[in-house]
Amino acid sequence: MGAVFVGMNDFSTFLKERVALLQEGFVPQTAMITSLMENEVRRRLGVYNAATGIFPAWKQLAARTMKERSEQGFSANEPLLRSRQLYNKLSHTFSGFSSQVGYLRGTPYYMTEKSGKTVSDSIGEIAMVHEFGSGRVPPRPFLGPSAYETFVPAANILQQRVFSILLVPPMNLSLTSRQSLDTALLTQVAYGESIIGDSRK
């Protein structure tokens, strides 16, 4: 049952109390959302991803690439999981409503983690190459689709918190409620805000 107000003073007091609670932040909820997205990113590495929203399906690894991987002692057909660095070095941060999942600026990417031979000074650059494709490397997005798939559960987690504070029943958000975010999401991925964690200062 919702709150009952005797008069405007009661209603005003109620609103002030609710606003104060909202201003306390959503750290537990943001932590939960961050964990959901981090798990979703890791789930996508090493397996062929189907098309998700505006993001294309992953192309099959080239025969020569699979042969090279096998010769180097890696699994032949686990895309983006050759040395497990994209998996192991995934990082996150969160505070209040802000959540980032990606790769820390300046984290090197090696040919293998044991070799010490640097391929790139920034694993974030490697992630971006795979996310958007470059030259002969086709796009195999995994960060953007993870944010896309996490949107509905994240929104439901946040609105449960908001509505519990406001003492009103929550709504059920559906898959279709996120379709209008496609353009905004693509822009976020492209400019590295909140999705590509390598953009962090």
For the chain, the domains span 27-199
**What integer pLDDT is reported at residue 159 of this predicted model?**
80
Which residue(s) pair with 95 in the sheet?
Answer: 98
Of residues 6 and 160, more confidently modeled:
160
Of residues 63 and 181, more confidently modeled:
63
The structure tokens listed for 195 are 């999705």
Average pLDDT over residues 122-128: 90
- pLDDT digits 0-9 by tens, 94-122: 876 677 899 988 888 876 555 556 667 78
Per-residue pLDDT band at 66 (split at 50, 70, 90): very high
**What integer pLDDT is reported at residue 184 of this predicted model?**
45
Distance (Å, rounded) from C-alpha 66 to C-alpha 188? 32
Average pLDDT over residues 65-75: 90
**What integer pLDDT is reported at residue 154 of this predicted model?**
86
Q: Indicate whether 132 pLDDT > 80.
A: yes
Average pLDDT over residues 129-145: 93
Q: Indicate whether 143 pLDDT > 60.
A: yes
Residue pair 62/138 in contact by the 8 Å Cβ criterion: no
**What integer pLDDT is reported at residue 175 of this predicted model?**
46
**What integer pLDDT is reported at residue 62 of this predicted model?**
93
- pLDDT digits 0-9 by tens, 154-198: 888 888 877 777 665 445 545 444 444 444 444 444 433 333 333
**What integer pLDDT is reported at residue 168 of this predicted model?**
54
Residue 27: Cβ within 10 Å count: 12
Supply the pTM of this predicted model.
0.70
Which of 148, 121, 119, 180 lies closest to 49 in space, CA to CA? Answer: 148
Q: How far is CA 164 from the centre of its chain?
A: 26
The structure tokens listed for 168 are 């009103």
- pLDDT digits 0-9 by tens, 15-54: 677 766 665 667 788 888 889 999 999 999 999 999 999 9
Residue pair 138/59 in contact by the 8 Å Cβ criterion: yes
Residue pair 194/99 in contact by the 8 Å Cβ criterion: yes
**What integer pLDDT is reported at residue 199 of this predicted model?**
34
